[in-house]
Amino acid sequence: MAIVRFFRGRLLLRSIELKDDEFLVDAADRAGIDIPRNCTSGNCGTCLVRLISGNVPYPEPLPPGLDEFLIEDGGILSCCMIPEGACDIDVIPPL
């Protein structure tokens, strides 16, 4: 099992083991961390967070809630993206 660590800036909020094929927003819920969301399909971008380290593959084609500028800043959509292994997530979005 992979560990996901959730940060707010430099402050570690919580670490949790990621379940198989679990979206980041669901892992955050289990950890008691609130990540805002709306559409839960990648369209609105409400669940945008920043990937600090680790690998979270981007879907092809990119969902409407993401663009190349957000990706350059580490932006990922927590409602529809699944990490491949351990990762660190900043819940402050790259805006």
How does pLDDT run across 22-31, given as a tens digit for each residue?
A: 999 999 999 9
- Residue 40: what pLDDT? 87
- What the block records as the tokens of 26 is 């669901």
d(CA 2, CA 39): 26
CATH number of the domain that residue 66 is part of: 3.10.20.30
How does pLDDT run across 58-94, given as a tens digit for each residue?
A: 988 999 999 999 999 999 999 999 999 999 999 999 8
User: Does residue 68 lie within any of the structural domains?
Assistant: yes
- Residue 23: what pLDDT? 95
User: Does residue 10 lie within any of the structural domains?
Assistant: yes
Mean model confidence pLDDT for the chain: 94
- Region 16-23 average pLDDT: 95
The pTM (predicted TM-score) of the whole model is 0.93
Determine the structural domain holding residue 47 and report its residue range. 3-90
Looking up tokens 């690998």 gives 55
* Total count of domains within the chain: 1
First and final CA of the chain: distance in angstroms?
Answer: 31
User: Does residue 43 lie within any of the structural domains?
Assistant: yes
User: Does residue 81 lie within any of the structural domains?
Assistant: yes
